[in-house]
């Protein structure tokens, strides 16, 4: 609910940001607040459970536990809120992935709080992240979670929580059904036991029950004080002497003489018990019936409710209602006769009023005097309840189909130049399109524009841009429509290779125009094509933008978006060499200048493999700023690995290859030490470079492990970098799962050895 409120506020709240409107003030503030709460979750928990109250006094154990639980609920609530924002596309999938990676990294002695937050965010939005694009990342997450679930150092509660999330994913994110299913239950489970009923005592003897009957008879022999009028006249009628003439009651409802008698008096009690709580009118039965689910038995209370509200299995009971009503009249006080008649249905009320009118004339008053004027008057007619006519439904405005039809007609006229841009804008405003349909309209327009020429596509983007400037459409709606375009592309590109190429080319022009008009950032386009989806769509978009704006403008847009271009390639092409070839083919090498550096390094090493000469060339030909760039480290390590492995292959057998690899690596270790010593983050890049190289080679058996051990023994890469690589989760470098399979046992040994060293130091 709160996430939906925030989404609506982001669309309707005033925007104070300058620029094209793609950024939103409320959204920025909300994301910043979420980031602060997420980053400070551990500090807040520690601050609130330090055992000291605000006045400086120490808290007792119960107060401390209550404060801890409150803080923990708030922390988990914030995590769930972040997940709900992700489900509503208020947060990008990249932010959610960063949160998950942050929670998976084990920090401190007790990671229970982070893992509980991880389970919460997975339970909330794991389904939307577990797509084809995020498959590699999710596999890495759950590989890590499975290993944690088997870690006996963790609390059992956390381990079972992790296993529940793993099972949830295995069941396609379908939660398990509740063990208790709502349905019909026996009446015996609903009715209270007789011993629990108010006023019931099983140990009462026959004498007590006889006394109760005598008291009940006494009560009915002395009528209650009446209000006068027609009630006064009815109070003078003797029900004990005239019920046979007034109301015929026979067996089984009355006694053998037709007047009810003692057995007849008991009948309502038995009838009440037989009908399981249905009120038959007896005083005691009424009291008990009120206790026993009287609120659910609309038919038993005769409250003038329509038969359509009664279940079919109860309708047959209505056939005996008249007899039960008559018997009820026999046992009621005089003053209650009229009250009972006033709640009968309309037909019974008319018949009763005619009977009462006849009695008021034929039966003389026992006083022998003149009857009160009120007794001679016609009885008051019972007011009939008139059912109100159903109100007409409130006009909900045009449907989505009607709005789409009008918008598509407008676009057709606009593309045919029957209306100009200003007329199209005014026509759109006149339609007063509801906000909830804006995204669907833009998406429909994008779908139609895929079949149009480049000029018509630019006209459509120009129209949407002007509508956005005029406030007729929101920037968020435009961005969401662009993100949703991937579903349209999935449908259109499944019709064959020829149709796919046509659609991809058309979509590239449309998306490039949207980026140039600042309708959507380049990062949103990258989300559509992440993990090589619709390849080579993203590269075509870059080429179109370069043609429209030039190299410098494209470089600025690309660098601001911070897109990993490697992730835009199919998995089989995710190597530096292949990326370099593709960028060179499409004249986009200026976006990745370090790829050129890698080619220069390889040429220099092949020309002169002397380590001192190679190091001197690097210092003279590259900028010092490049030395701390992960791209440069990746290029340097990759070039050295390739050179060493190629040279070692000439040794012949495996033992000779291993010895030559170690000798060559030791020869170049001085260069690697110069750029990697005491730089854990760059050492991590070096480990990933090893992974990428052997991934491209198909992970030859034992080679990755051999290089890991050599880099560790020569102190080129510290144990901290290796352990960080094990726990790090990213999709920038493919093949992580296969690499872990080869070196996991060695990493476990390394981790245990490090723990033993720390214990020895203590």
Q: Is the pLDDT of residue 286 over 80?
A: no
* Cα separation, 28 vs 380, whole angstroms: 71
Q: Is the pLDDT of residue 290 over 80?
A: no
Query: Higher-confidence residue: 122 or 655?
Result: 122
Could you write out the three-class secondary structure of 416-442? CCCCCHHHHHHHHHHHCCCHHHHHHHH
* Cα separation, 55 vs 103, whole angstroms: 34
pLDDT in tens, 172-198: 888 876 544 455 666 666 555 455 555
What DSSP line would sit under 168-207, residue for residue?
Answer: HHHTTTPPPPPSS------HHHHSPPGGGSTT--TT--HH
Considering only 33-37, 128-132, 393-397, 477-481, which range has the smallest mean pLDDT?
Answer: 393-397
**Rounded CA Rg of the chain:** 42
Of 187, 180, 181, 192, nearest to 313 (Cα)?
187
Contact call for residues 140 and 737 (beta carbons, < 8 A): yes
Task: Return the half-sphere exposure (C-beta side, CA atoms, 13 A cut-off) of residue 150.
Answer: 5
Beta carbons within 10 angstroms of residue 445's beta carbon: 21
* Cα separation, 88 vs 4, whole angstroms: 8
pLDDT-based confidence at 687, cuts 50/70/90?
A: very high
pLDDT-based confidence at 658, cuts 50/70/90?
A: confident
At residue 373, the pLDDT reads 46
pLDDT in tens, 224-251: 444 444 444 444 444 444 444 444 444 4
Average pLDDT score over residue span 463-467: 86
Contact call for residues 693 and 638 (beta carbons, < 8 A): yes
Average pLDDT score over residue span 659-669: 89
**Element (H or E) spanning 227, and its range?**
none
% of the chain beyond a pLDDT of 90: 3
Of 662, 665, 666, 661, nearest to 647 (Cα)?
661
Average pLDDT score over residue span 158-166: 90
The pTM is what? 0.43
At residue 218, the pLDDT reads 45
**437, 441, 444, 445: CA torsion to nearest 10:** -170
pLDDT in tens, 323-376: 444 444 444 554 444 444 444 444 444 444 444 444 444 444 444 444 444 444
Tokens of 160: 């079972």
pLDDT-based confidence at 594, cuts 50/70/90?
A: confident
* Cα separation, 385 vs 426, whole angstroms: 53
Q: Is the pLDDT of residue 223 over 70?
A: no
């Amino acid at each position: 609910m709160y996430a939906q409120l925030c989404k609506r506020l982001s669309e309707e709240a005033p925007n104070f940001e300058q620029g094209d409107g793609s950024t939103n003030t409320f959204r920025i503030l909300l994301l910043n607040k979420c980031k602060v709460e997420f980053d400070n979750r551990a500090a807040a928990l520690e601050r609130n459970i330090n055992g000291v109250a605000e006045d400086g006094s120490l808290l007792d154990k119960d107060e401390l536990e209550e404060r801890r639980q409150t803080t923990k609920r708030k922390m988990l609530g914030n995590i769930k809120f972040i997940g709900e924002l992700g489900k509503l596309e208020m947060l990008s999938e990249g932010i959610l992935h960063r949160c998950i990676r942050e929670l998976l990294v084990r920090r401190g002695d007790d990671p229970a709080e982070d893992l509980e937050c991880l389970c919460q965010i997975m339970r909330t939005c794991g389904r939307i992240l577990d797509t084809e694009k995020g498959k590699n990342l999710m596999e890495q997450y759950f590989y890590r979670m499975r290993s944690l679930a088997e870690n006996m150092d963790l609390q059992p509660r956390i381990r079972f929580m992790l296993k529940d999330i793993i099972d949830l994913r295995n069941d396609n994110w379908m939660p398990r059904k509740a063990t208790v299913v709502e349905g019909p239950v026996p009446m015996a489970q609903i009715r209270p036991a007789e011993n629990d009923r108010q006023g019931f005592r099983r140990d009462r003897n026959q004498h007590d029950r006889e006394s109760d009957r005598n008291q009940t008879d006494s009560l009915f022999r002395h009528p209650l004080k009446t209000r006068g009028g027609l009630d006064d006249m009815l109070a003078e009628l003797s029900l004990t002497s005239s019920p046979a003439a007034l109301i015929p009651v026979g067996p089984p409802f009355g006694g053998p003489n037709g007047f009810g008698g003692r057995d007849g008096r008991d009948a309502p009690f038995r009838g009440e018990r037989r009908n399981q709580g249905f009120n038959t009118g007896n005083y005691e039965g009424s009291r008990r019936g009120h206790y026993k689910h009287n609120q659910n038995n609309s038919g038993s209370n005769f409250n003038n409710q329509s038969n359509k509200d009664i279940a079919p299995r109860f309708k047959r009971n209505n056939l005996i209602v008249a007899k039960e009503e008559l018997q009820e009249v026999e046992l009621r006080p005089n003053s209650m006769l009229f009250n009972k008649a006033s709640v009968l249905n309309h037909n019974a009320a008319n018949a009763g009023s005619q009977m009462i009118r006849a009695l008021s004339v034929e039966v003389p008053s026992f006083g022998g005097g003149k009857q009160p004027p009120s007794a001679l008057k016609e009885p008051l007619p019972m007011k009939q309840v008139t059912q109100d006519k159903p109100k007409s439904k409130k006009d909900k405005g045009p449907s989505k189909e009607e709005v789409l039809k009008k918008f598509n007609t407008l676009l057709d006229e606009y593309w045919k130049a029957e209306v100009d841009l200003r007329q199209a804008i005014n026509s759109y405003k006149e339609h007063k399109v509801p906000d909830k349909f804006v995204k669907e309209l833009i998406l429909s327009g994008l779908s139609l524009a895929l079949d149009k020429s480049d000029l018509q596509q630019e006209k459509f983007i120009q129209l949407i841009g002007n509508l956005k400037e005029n406030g007729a459409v929101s920037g968020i709606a435009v961005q969401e429509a662009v993100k949703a375009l991937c579903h349209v592309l999935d449908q259109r590109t499944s019709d064959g290779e020829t149709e796919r190429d046509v659609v991809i080319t058309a979509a590239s022009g449309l998306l490039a125009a949207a980026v140039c008009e600042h309708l959507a950032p380049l990062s949103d386009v990258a989300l559509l094509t992440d993990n090589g989806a619709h390849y080579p769509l993203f590269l075509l978009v870059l080429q179109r933008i370069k043609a429209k704006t030039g190299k410098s403008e494209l470089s600025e847009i690309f660098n601001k978006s911070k897109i990993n271009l490697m992730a835009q390639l199919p998995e089989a092409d995710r190597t530096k060499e292949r990326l370099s070839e593709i960028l060179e083919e499409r004249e986009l090498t200026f976006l990745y200048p370090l790829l050129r550096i890698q080619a220069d390094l390889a040429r220099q090493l092949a020309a002169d493999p002397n380590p001192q000469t190679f190091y001197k060339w690097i210092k003279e030909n590259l900028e010092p700023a490049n030395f701390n760039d992960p791209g440069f480290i990746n290029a340097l390590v990759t070039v050295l690995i390739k050179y060493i492995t190629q040279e070692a292959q000439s040794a012949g057998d495996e033992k000779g290859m291993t010895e030559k690899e170690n000798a060559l690596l030791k020869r170049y270790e001085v260069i690697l030490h110069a750029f990697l010593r005491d730089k854990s983050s760059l050492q991590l890049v070096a480990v990933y470079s090893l992974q990428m190289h052997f991934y491209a080679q198909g992970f030859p058996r034992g080679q990755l492990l051999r290089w890991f051990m050599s880099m560790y023994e020569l102190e080129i890469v510290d144990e901290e970098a290796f352990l960080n690589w094990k726990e790090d989760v990213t999709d920038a470098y493919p093949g992580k799962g296969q690499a872990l399979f080869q070196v996991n046992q060695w990493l476990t040994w390394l981790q245990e050895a490090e723990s033993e060293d720390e214990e020895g130091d203590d």
